[in-house]
């Protein structure tokens, strides 16, 4: 029987606008298909085990990002190794920013990131707040909620998670939202993102399961009527 070890990075400091719901979604959607799930909470000072199947980290205030900065840097090598071994990963907002090169706050404090994603972020003059809809080549329409001061610029060779349909996304200017590197998705979408976008949840689960058993080519389908209804309600909300 396959067991999935899901690493939850900094649940105390990095958990905004329902981000924890992403963990519940991954756990439930895996269990509904008969897989066993262990949630491994990583707090500052803990050691990250080697046998991680999915990495998840949420958003946080600038002060939360500051608190975890050193610990994240200490674990950068191992996180990079996991992601370069195609372990699926989802990082939202504050951790999305710190998986890139750095986040510079409105006060000018530079919080150093771990450069797994190819981007850097500098706080802008106003916060970008509201409902957001994006279009992604892999997942189609993805809906969520954003609230960030940071304006993220992707390096030229980075691949965005999607293109903004309504909302701001990475910086409110170039229409990009988030980034995908290997099986790692960085995005500004809170909400939480996974309950309303089950295709994204299943992408992470399938990649994790295939890493253990490459013969599995698809997940058992679930009845997603409620999830898809929630998706379409969210997509119609005004910005
Ligand atoms: N503190 C960061 C910013 O304001 C991230 C915010 C968040 O995670 N929602 O840009």
Q: Decide whether any atom of ligand 1 lies within 6 Å of the 6 Cβ.
A: no
Q: Which of 20, 96, 97 is the pocket-test mutation for ligand 1 (most atoms within 8 Å of CB)?
A: 97
Q: Which of 66, 109, 132, 147 is the pocket-test mutation for ligand 1 (most atoms within 8 Å of CB)?
A: 147
pLDDT of 156:
98
User: Of 55, 129, 68, 131, whose CA–CA distance to 94 is shortest?
Assistant: 68
Q: Decide whether any atom of ligand 1 lies within 6 Å of the 18 Cβ.
A: no
Q: Decide whether any atom of ligand 1 lies within 6 Å of the 186 Cβ.
A: no
Q: Decide whether any atom of ligand 1 lies within 6 Å of the 57 Cβ.
A: no
Strand-strand pairing, 54-57 and 102-104 = unpaired
- Which residue reads 């949630």 in tokens? 39
174 alpha-carbon distance from chain centroid: 20
Task: State the helix-helix crossing angle for 198-212 and 20-31, rounded to 10 degrees.
Answer: 60
- Residue 94 alpha carbon to ligand 1 centre in Å: 5
Q: Decide whether any atom of ligand 1 lies within 6 Å of the 59 Cβ.
A: yes
Phi, psi of 27 (to 5 degrees): -65, -50
Residues designated catalytic: 93, 190
pLDDT of 30:
98
- Residue 236 alpha carbon to ligand 1 centre in Å: 24
pLDDT of 69:
98
pLDDT of 27:
98
Q: Which atom of ligand 1 is nearest to the CA of 147?
A: 9
Q: For 72-103, give the secondary structure using H, E and C.
A: HHHCHHHHHHHHHCCCCEEEEHHHHHHHCCEE
pLDDT tens over the chain, length 239 residues: 899 999 999 999 999 999 999 999 999 999 999 999 999 999 999 999 999 999 999 999 999 999 999 999 999 999 999 999 999 999 999 999 999 999 999 999 999 999 999 999 999 999 999 999 999 999 999 999 999 999 999 999 999 999 999 999 999 999 999 999 999 999 999 999 999 999 999 999 999 999 999 999 999 999 999 999 999 999 999 88
Q: Decide whether any atom of ligand 1 lies within 6 Å of the 144 Cβ.
A: no
Q: Which atom of ligand 1 is nearest to the CA of 96?
A: 8
Cα 239 to Cα 41, 62, 132, 145, 212, distances in angstroms: 33, 24, 7, 9, 40
Tokens of 177: 């939202």
Q: Decide whether any atom of ligand 1 lies within 6 Å of the 38 Cβ.
A: no
Phi, psi of 228 (to 5 degrees): -75, -30
Which residue segments constitute the domains of the chain, with CATH numbers given?
Answer: 3-236 (3.40.50.880)
Rounded Cα distance between 65 and 41, Å, is: 17
């Amino acid at each position: 029987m396959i067991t999935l070890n899901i690493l939850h990075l900094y649940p105390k400091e990095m958990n905004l606008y329902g981000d924890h719901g992403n963990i519940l979604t991954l756990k439930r959607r895996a269990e509904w298909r008969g897989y066993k799930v262990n949630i491994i909470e990583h707090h500052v000072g803990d050691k990250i085990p080697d046998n991680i199947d999915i990495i998840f980290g949420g958003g946080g205030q600038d002060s939360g990002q500051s608190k975890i900065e050193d610990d994240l840097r200490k674990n950068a090598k191992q996180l990079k190794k996991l992601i370069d071994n195609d372990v699926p990963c989802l990082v939202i907002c504050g951790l999305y920013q710190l998986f890139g090169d750095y986040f510079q706050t409105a006060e000018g404090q530079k919080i150093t990131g771990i450069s797994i994603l190819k981007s850097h972020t500098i706080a802008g003059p106003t916060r970008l707040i509201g409902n957001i809809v994006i279009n992604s080549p892999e997942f189609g329409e993805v809906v969520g909620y954003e609230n960030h001061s940071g304006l993220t610029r992707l390096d030229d060779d980075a691949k965005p998670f999607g293109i903004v349909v309504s909302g701001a996304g990475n910086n409110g200017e170039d229409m990009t939202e988030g980034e995908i590197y290997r099986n790692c998705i960085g995005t500004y979408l809170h909400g939480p993102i996974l309950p309303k976008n089950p295709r994204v949840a299943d992408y992470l689960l399938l990649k994790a399961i295939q890493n253990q058993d490459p013969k599995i080519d698809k997940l058992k389908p679930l009845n997603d009527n409620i999830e898809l209804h929630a998706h379409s309600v969210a997509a119609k909300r005004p910005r």
